[in-house]
């Protein structure tokens, strides 16, 4: 059963229960109030009648029964008696009875004296609802018994009319609610259907689906949380897809990197094994096998470094990045001089939190990347600039430069701008990927700026904090 149908049924049942109990209670309370008021009025009228008889006796001084009968008749004809039926008795003999009153009275004997009267509510044989008051008054030496009856059928008739009207109103209300409640329930639960539809679309693979609910109630809040959840799911799925794609590209590139040297190694090894090569050719083949083996060794060590960096926390301590960079430049200066490459250092004093081993590896890879950018020598400048959050390490060269479309891919594993030149100079396409990982571990990043024919500048930010007391 759908939720909006359940709401409709609950609303109809609740309405019927509340309206039924409430309507019945109102009718009964109104009836009881009118009945109490009519009883009070009858008592007041009866007391007024007794007082009138007593006052007239005191004033006129009559004492005969026929005189009393005349007085009562006069009072009744003048409208002083506020009852439909009246009976007056003395000594068990009726001295006055209203017309047609013989069948409406009942004899009440207990509890009646000159100080007390008795009230009786009943239904007559004519289906009339009557209220009878019976009491006694002493006039002179006589005890006079007076019975008065008032017709209160209109109260019961009014209750019947109210009940009948209530039934019609109840039926009309049920019919209207049977029409309106489903519409209201459907309108209120429609956002839930929208959420359900969006959830089904996401479950089917449409991760960009969102619920378009902008209400300010709980459903709107639920829709907002649902959209946030959907965005996180879409983001995670996209990241997973990109990760799988990158892994596939990584494996493909890795296989390609392994295939080329392995093919050469197997080929030269087979030639050596055949015994048909001269001594010079054997030496050349062995030298090629040695160089390719060293390149494979470097490739495996770099891959191992990347994997280790992904699983271990760096050892952060306060070091001077300028001291580390200056020592690196000093050690590499004579080696690079053999390739007609001049390297210089310029740095600011200060200490910041870093892993000295990782920063050494980063500098080595950046400088080696700049080394490969020269055809016939050039200049490499290493700079360290301190800032509030740490330091910026800059490695700049005046080599051949990098095309603009390749700058965004430099840190991808196995990516090389010029594959033939990089492989010839011992590159594997993993050095800058390793540098990016090291920068990430230092809460920073690496950026490249380059112009073809003008050179390249790599800027590495270190944001682990610095020693501000120095």
Query: Any idea which of 103-107, 222-226, 373-377, 441-445 has the lowest mean pLDDT?
Result: 103-107
Provide the 8-state DSSP code for 194. Answer: H
Predicted confidence at residue 145, as pLDDT, reads 84
Rounded mean pLDDT, 175-193 = 84
Terminal CA-to-CA distance of the chain, rounded, Å?
A: 74
Higher pLDDT, 200 or 63: 200
User: Where does the pLDDT of residue 422 fall: very low under 50, low under 70, confident under 90, or very high at 90 and above?
Assistant: very low
Chain segment 125-156, per-residue pLDDT in tens: 777 888 888 888 777 677 788 888 888 888 99
The answer to whether residues 450 and 407 touch, using CB atoms and an 8 Å cutoff, is yes
Whether 420 shows a pLDDT value over 50: the answer reads: no
* Other C-beta atoms lying within 10 Å of the C-beta of residue 351: 20
Predicted confidence at residue 415, as pLDDT, reads 55
Predicted confidence at residue 199, as pLDDT, reads 84
3-state secondary structure 134-192: EEEEEECCEEEEEEEEEECHHHHHHHHHHHHHHHHHHHHHHHHHHHHHHHHHHHHHHHH
Phi, psi of 118 (to 5 degrees): -120, 135
Q: In the sheet that 129-139 helps form, which strands lie side by side, from edge to edge?
A: 93-97, 85-90, 142-151, 129-139, 118-123
CA distance 281 to 292: 17
Query: Any idea which of 215-219, 402-406, 408-412 has the lowest mean pLDDT?
Result: 408-412
DSSP SS3 for 434: helix
Predicted confidence at residue 423, as pLDDT, reads 44
The answer to whether residues 396 and 455 touch, using CB atoms and an 8 Å cutoff, is yes
H helix intervals, 61-77 = 65-77
Predicted confidence at residue 33, as pLDDT, reads 92
Phi, psi of 219 (to 5 degrees): -65, -40
Residue 105 region, left (φ>0) first, then alpha (ψ -120 to 50), else beta? beta
As a dihedral over the C-alpha atoms of residue 20, residue 26, residue 30, residue 35, rounded to 10 degrees, the angle is 60
Whether 311 shows a pLDDT value over 60: the answer reads: no
User: Where does the pLDDT of residue 424 fall: very low under 50, low under 70, confident under 90, or very high at 90 and above?
Assistant: very low
Whether 462 shows a pLDDT value over 80: the answer reads: yes
Q: CA 180, 181, 186 angle in degrees (round to 5)?
A: 105
Higher pLDDT, 221 or 351: 351
CA distance 373 to 272: 35
Q: Dig out the tokens for 378 from the structure.
A: 């050039």
Q: Maximum Cα–Cα distance for the chain, whole Å?
A: 174
Going by C-alpha positions, the residue among 355, 359, 254 that lies closest to residue 312 is 355
As a whole number, the mean pLDDT across the chain is 80
* Other C-beta atoms lying within 10 Å of the C-beta of residue 397: 26
Q: Start-end ranges of CATH 3.30.450.20 in the chain? A: 3-157
CA distance 217 to 220: 5
H helix intervals, 204-320 = 218-274, 279-309
CATH of domain 315-467: 3.30.565.10
Whether 426 shows a pLDDT value over 50: the answer reads: no
207-312, CATH topology level: Helix Hairpins (1.10.287)
The answer to whether residues 437 and 309 touch, using CB atoms and an 8 Å cutoff, is yes
The answer to whether residues 71 and 90 touch, using CB atoms and an 8 Å cutoff, is no
User: Where does the pLDDT of residue 256 fall: very low under 50, low under 70, confident under 90, or very high at 90 and above?
Assistant: low
**% of the chain with per-residue pLDDT over 70:** 83
**% of the chain with per-residue pLDDT over 90:** 13
CA distance 275 to 283: 13
Going by C-alpha positions, the residue among 73, 146, 138 that lies closest to residue 105 is 146
Whether 419 shows a pLDDT value over 50: the answer reads: no
Rounded mean pLDDT, 94-123 = 76
Rounded mean pLDDT, 62-74 = 68
User: Where does the pLDDT of residue 94 fall: very low under 50, low under 70, confident under 90, or very high at 90 and above?
Assistant: confident
Facing residues of 394 across strands? 383, 459
Higher pLDDT, 341 or 410: 341
CATH 3.30.450.20 fits 3-157, yes or no: yes
Going by C-alpha positions, the residue among 225, 292, 229, 226 that lies closest to residue 259 is 292
| Cα atoms in the Cβ-side hemisphere of radius 13 Å centred on 308 | 8
Q: Start-end ranges of CATH 1.10.287.130 in the chain? A: 207-312
Whether 455 shows a pLDDT value over 80: the answer reads: yes
Rounded mean pLDDT, 342-357 = 90
Facing residues of 446 across strands? 460
* Other C-beta atoms lying within 10 Å of the C-beta of residue 155: 19
pTM of the model: 0.46
Q: Dig out the tokens for 336 from the structure.
A: 């690079």
């Amino acid at each position: 059963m759908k939720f909006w149908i359940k709401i409709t049924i609950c609303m109809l049942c609740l309405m019927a229960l509340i309206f039924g109990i409430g309507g019945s209670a109102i009718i009964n309370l109104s009836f009881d109030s009118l009945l109490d008021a009519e009883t009070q009025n009858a008592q007041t009228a009866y007391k007024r009648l007794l007082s009138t008889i007593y006052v007239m006796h005191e004033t006129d001084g009559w004492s005969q029964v026929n005189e009393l009968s005349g007085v009562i008749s006069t009072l009744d004809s003048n409208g002083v008696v506020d009852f439909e039926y009246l009976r007056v008795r003395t000594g068990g003999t009726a001295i006055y009875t209203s017309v047609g009153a013989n069948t409406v009275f009942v004899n009440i004997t207990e509890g009646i004296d000159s100080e007390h009267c008795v009230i009786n509510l009943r239904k007559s044989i004519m289906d009339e609802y009557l209220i009878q008051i019976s009491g006694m008054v002493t006039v002179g030496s006589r005890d006079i018994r007076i019975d008065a009856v008032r017709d209160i059928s209109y109260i019961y008739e009014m209750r019947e009319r109210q009940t009948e009207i209530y039934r019609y109103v109840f039926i009309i209300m049920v019919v209207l609610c049977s029409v309106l409640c489903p519409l209201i329930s459907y309108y209120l639960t429609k956002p839930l259907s929208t959420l359900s539809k969006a959830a089904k679309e996401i479950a089917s693979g449409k991760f960009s689906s969102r619920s378009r609910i902008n209400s300010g109630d709980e459903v709107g809040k639920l829709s907002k949380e649902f959209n946030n959840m959907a965005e996180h799911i879409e983001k995670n799925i996209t990241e997973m897809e990109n990760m799988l794609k990158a892994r596939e590209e990584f494996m493909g590139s890795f296989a390609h990197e392994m295939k080329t040297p392995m093919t050469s190694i197997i080929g030269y090894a087979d030639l050596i094994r055949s015994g048909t090569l001269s001594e010079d050719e054997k030496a050349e083949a062995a030298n090629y096998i040695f160089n390719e083996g060293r390149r494979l060794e470097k490739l495996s060590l770099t891959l191992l470094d990347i994997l280790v960096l992904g699983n271990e926390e760096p050892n952060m301590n306060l070091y001077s990045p300028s001291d580390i960079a200056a020592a690196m430049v000093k050690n590499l200066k004579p080696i690079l001089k053999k390739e007609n490459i001049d390297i210089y250092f310029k740095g600011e004093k200060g200490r910041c939190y870093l892993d000295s081993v990782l920063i050494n590896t980063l500098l080595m890879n950046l400088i080696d990347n700049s080394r490969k950018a020269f055809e016939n020598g050039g200049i490499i400048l290493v700079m360290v600039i301190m800032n509030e959050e740490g330091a910026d390490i800059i490695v700049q060269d005046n080599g051949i430069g990098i095309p603009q479309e390749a700058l965004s891919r430099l840190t991808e594993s196995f990516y090389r701008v010029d594959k033939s030149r990089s492989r010839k100079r011992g590159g594997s396409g993993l050095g800058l990927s390793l540098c990016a990982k090291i920068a990430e571990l230092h809460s920073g990043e690496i950026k490249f700026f380059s112009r073809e024919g003008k050179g390249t500048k790599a800027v590495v930010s270190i944001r682990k904090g610095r020693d501000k007391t120095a």
